[in-house]
Amino acid sequence: MSTVTHTPGGLAGPDQTPPPGRTPAQRAAVGGGRAGARFFNGFSHLFLAVWAIMVVYPLLWVVMSALKTDSEVIRKPLSLIPEQLQWGNFARAWTEGHIGSFFLNTILVLTGSVFLTMLLGSMAAYVLARYEFPGNRLIYYMFLSGLTLPIYLAAVPLFKGVYNTGVVLPFLGPNSHVMLILVYVAWSLSFTVFFMHSFFRTLPNAIAEAGMVDGASHSRLFFSVMLPMAKPGLISIGIFNVLGQWNQWYLPTLLMQSVAGEPKNQVISQGLIELSVNQGYRSDWSGLFAGVTMAMLPVLIVYIVFQRQVQSGLTAGVSK
Amino acid sequence: MRHGVARFVTGFLALPVGLYLFYVVWPFLQAAGYSLTDWGGYSDRQQFVGLDNYLRLFSDELIRKAFWHNVFFLITVPLFTIALALFLAFLLNVGGREDKAGIRGVFGSGLYKVIFFFPQVLSLVVIAVMWQQIYRADGQGLINGMLMKIGLVSEDDPITFMYDPEPFLGVPAVLWWLLLIAVWSGAGFYMVLFSAAMQSIPKDVYEAAILDGAGRFHTFFRITLPLLRDTVSVAWVYLGFIALDMYALVFVMTPSQGGPNHASEIFASVLNFTAFQKGQFGYACAMGVALAIFTILLAALQLRITRRERIEY
């Protein structure tokens, strides 16, 4: 990595030391004058506001439609103000549309899978980043390769593998929460290991050595010294995993189909797909909107509360 | 001591590596193996057919269609998303008034950033189901409803969105409508990314430029944009992956998951259809391997093109 110093011609010369403050003439040259600047400022606001409306309006429309009656959805589809607030739509989507149980299933699965992803991911990343042993590179690249391979390639054998495991160990078969947790963890490890690996690399050696001198075991060193030091990285990758696994739809669609008579263990994404098909048949539009609202609002609220962390967490995930 | 290290390393790696091997690596390897057979998926009968499945890929009309649709998304999704994100970031960061401290960001840029980021935290399925309602092909849909109200679209002839296979600029209209959703949901995230990168450019670079008499457009195109090159190329790679992954939208929104009349078929939808509807697992695995090779080649290509000396401040 080399450092390129950016010195555009004419800036470095000592004879060109600029005068303090600018003359009106220079000021006018900057940004095409005052009127130009004002116009540009106005244009910026206009365009940004238009885009903001394009983002917010559909969301608001969904939430407001969730509070209308069905006939109102059909009669006045565009209005943002319901004649009377229909909270019953939410109750209907929650119970009849099973959004309630899909919700709980998702939370149950995510609690296990995010915790395990973080724990196992940082353990593997730590060992790979800070210990030399034969096969280290091989294992690291094995994890890395999962980043480029499309999930669809593995779909067929993965389905088959889970199905076969289920014959012997039912709790690891299709339509089981434990199985889904383990699959989520396995598929999230690639990125988690990759991300935390670069993080553990940057931690100073001196502290690790001091810990060793004090007689800490390897695993104690990890859990009470190194892991706490990696907290910023853990928060980033944690947010990334929570959102990623909450939004996961392909793996559950593949692996969590319940045969008639089996308990419905599906997660929220599947629930929404099901709702969009079923409510379409029943023309229960307000129920559908209520379902989408319930899947949408918790995430949005969490985001608004923790927006700084979420934004930096997700963008750090990309720029690593 | 040495013994302790070995035990520790093994203990820490056993579980993650085991899980990863079982649920990720093993399926991939199996897929490669199955791709050489004519396995149907539901029977135990499978015969080694060599590279027949791969040869079949080249003469498959549907695959050819899906391939070009993938290429379409691969070009348009990053292109439009990055262009829009850069434009928004530009307005946000240099659209404000200027004073002694130089050119400022617009008033309320924090709020804009929060709002633009919304779609990023919503799941693709939520976005798909929501847009399904926005794109409804009657007056009940948001867009059709609005256009009917202002009289641009007549009640009897609404825009059909997802049911429109007619080509526009040589590409089925349904794909353009899907593209719009992808850009809508991605632009905010990349705007935040570019915005953060812009702000990490040291202030004195700008001050020097302003003292030299460079206006905001000059400053942006001559200084900001070149310094953003790294970030933009990373964004390009990521958007490339997202473009290959448009399946969620196709799955939820299009008629018979790739329709109408196969107008929105992409690799993933053909693969799933072949495996689970037609029951040709072996052939589907060959498609998967082809897709994987395509992805890896693409990633390598992009890394090659975008590799360049890093600029550090």
Tens digits of residue pLDDT in B196-253: 888 888 878 877 877 887 777 788 888 888 888 888 888 888 888 888 778 888 888 8
C-alpha angle B85/B88/B92, rounded to 5°? Answer: 135
B148 reaches A (C-beta below 8 A): no
Alpha helices in A222-306 (DSSP H): 227-229, 231-246, 250-255, 268-282, 285-305
Query: Up-side HSE of residue B109: CA atoms within 13 Å toward CB?
Result: 21
- In the numeric block, which tokens belong to residue A31? 């940004």
The 10 Å CB-count burial string (b at 16+, else e) for B57-88 is beebeebebbbebbebbbebbbebbbebbbeb
Name the most confidently modeled range: A73-77, A222-226, A255-259, B72-76: B72-76
> Across the A/B interface, how many CB contacts are shorter than 8 Å?
305
Q: What is the mean pLDDT of chain A?
A: 80
User: Do the beta carbons of residue B279 and residue B41 sit within 8 Å?
Assistant: yes
What are the distances in angstroms from CA A232 to CA A238, B173, B231, B279? 10, 45, 21, 47
Phi, psi for residue B76 in degrees, rounded to 5 = -75, -40
Determine the pLDDT at residue A27.
43
Domain A98-282 has what CATH class? Answer: mainly alpha
> How far is residue B259's CA from residue B136's CA, in Å, rounded to a whole number?
16
φ/ψ of B203, rounded to 5, equals: -60, -35
Q: Do B120 and A29 touch (CB under 8 A)?
A: no
Enumerate the domain spans of chain B.
1-28, 35-306
What is the SS3 assignment for B141? Answer: coil
Interface of A with B in 67-126 (CB under 8 A): 73-74, 77-78, 120-121, 123-124, 126
pLDDT at A21: 45
Q: Which element (helix H / strand E) includes B113? A: helix B109-116
Q: What is the DSSP string of A191-245?
A: HHHHHHHHHHHHS-HHHHHHHHHTT--HHHHIIIIIHHHTHHHHHHHHHHHHHHH
CA atoms of A254 and A258, how far apart (whole Å): 11
* Predicted confidence (pLDDT) per residue in A115-165, tens digit: 999 999 999 999 999 888 888 999 998 998 888 787 878 888 898 889 889
Residue recorded with tokens 């054998």? A157
Going by C-alpha positions, the residue among B291, B302, B176 that lies closest to residue B244 is B291
The partner residue sitting opposite A41, judged by closest CB among B106, B140, B310, is: B106
Question: In the numeric block, which tokens belong to residue A283?
Answer: 């023309």
Contact B281 A156 (CB under 8 A): yes
Other CB atoms within 10 Å distance of the CB of residue B221: 12
Using CA atoms, how far apart are residues B308 and B100, in angstroms rounded to an integer? 35
Find the CB nearest B132 among A8, A276, A318: A276
Mean pLDDT in residue range A1-26: 40
Q: Which of A48, A276, A301 is nearest to B252 (CA)?
A: A276
CA neighbours closer than 13 Å in the CB half-sphere of residue A26: 15
Please name the residues in contact with A197: beta carbons below 8 A apart, sequence gap of 6 or more.
A125, A128, A129, A140
ipTM above 0.90 for this complex? no
Provide the percentage of residues in chain B whose pLDDT is more than 70. 92
B311 pLDDT tier (thresholds 50, 70, 90):
low
- Interface contact flag, A155 B252, Cβ < 8 Å: no
Any bridge partners for residue B99, and if so which? B102
Nearest residue of chain A to residue B143 (CA atoms): A78
Radius of gyration for chain A, computed over Cα atoms and rounded to the nearest angstrom: 27
Mean pLDDT, rounded, for A79-104: 82
CA pair distance A305, A278, nearest whole angstrom? 34
Q: Is the model's pLDDT at A9 over the cut of 50? A: no
Using the beta-carbon criterion (under 8 Å), do B24 and A26 form an inter-chain contact?
Answer: no
Helix (H, G, I), strand (E, B) or coil at A181: helix
Q: Closest chain B residue to A310 measured between Cα atoms?
A: B121
> Distance between CA A82 and CA A75 in Å, rounded?
12
Chain B residues 44-83 with CB within 8 Å of chain A: none
CB-CB contact of B295 with B240 (8 Å): no
- pLDDT confidence band for B307 (50 / 70 / 90): low
B24: amino acid identity, one letter: V
* CA gap A97, A89 in Å, rounded: 10
Residues 6+ apart with CB under 8 A from A60: A80
**A249 three-state secondary structure:** coil
The fold of the B35-306 domain, in CATH, is MetI-like fold (1.10.3720)
Which member of B117, B124, B223 has the closest CB to residue A249?
B124
Chain A CB contacts of B37 under 8 Å are none
- The model's confidence at residue B180, banded by pLDDT at 50, 70 and 90, is very high
Q: What is the pLDDT of residue B238?
A: 82
Using CB atoms, which residue from B15, B97, B289 is nearest to A153? B289
Residues 6+ apart with CB under 8 A from A50: none
pLDDT at position B204? 80
**Tokens (6 digits) for A204:** 């100073």
Which of these ranges, A254-268, B72-86, B223-237, has the smallest mean pLDDT? Answer: A254-268
d(CA B98, CA A55): 28
| Between A87 and A313, residue with greater pLDDT | A87
Contacts of A189 (CB under 8 A, 6+ apart): A117, A120, A121, A124, A143, A146, B16, B19, B20, B24
Token pair recorded at residue A229: 């030091």
pLDDT for B3: 62
Pairwise CA distance, residues A36 & A131, whole Å: 60
Put simply, whether A164 touches B (Cβ < 8 Å) is no
Residues 6 or more apart from B216 whose CB is under 8 A from it? A30, A31, A40, B94, B98, B103
State mean pLDDT over A186-194: 92
- Least confident range from A266-280, B9-23, B57-71: namely A266-280
**Cα angle A198-A191-B301, degrees, rounded to a multiple of 5:** 90
Residue B148 has pLDDT above 70, yes or no: yes
Closest CA of chain A from B115, distance in Å: 6
Contacts 24+ apart (CB under 8 A), B179-183: B179/B73, B179/B76, B179/B77, B179/B80, B181/B127, B181/B128, B181/B131, B181/B249, B182/B73, B182/B77, B182/B81, B182/B242, B182/B243, B182/B246, B182/B249, B183/B77, B183/B80, B183/B81, B183/B84
Per-residue model confidence (pLDDT) at position B151: 80
Q: Average of pLDDT values for A104-121?
A: 94
Could you tell me the CA-to-CA distances from A234 to A119, A226, A307 in Å, in that order?
10, 11, 17
B245 chain-A contacts, CB cut-off 8 A: 150
Judged on CB neighbours under 10 Å (0-12, 13-18, 19+), A3 is exposed
Task: Cite the beta strand spans of chain B per DSSP E.
Answer: 98-99, 102-103, 167-168, 171-172
Gap between the Cα atoms of B251 and B243, Å rounded: 14
Q: Is the pLDDT of residue A169 over 80?
A: yes
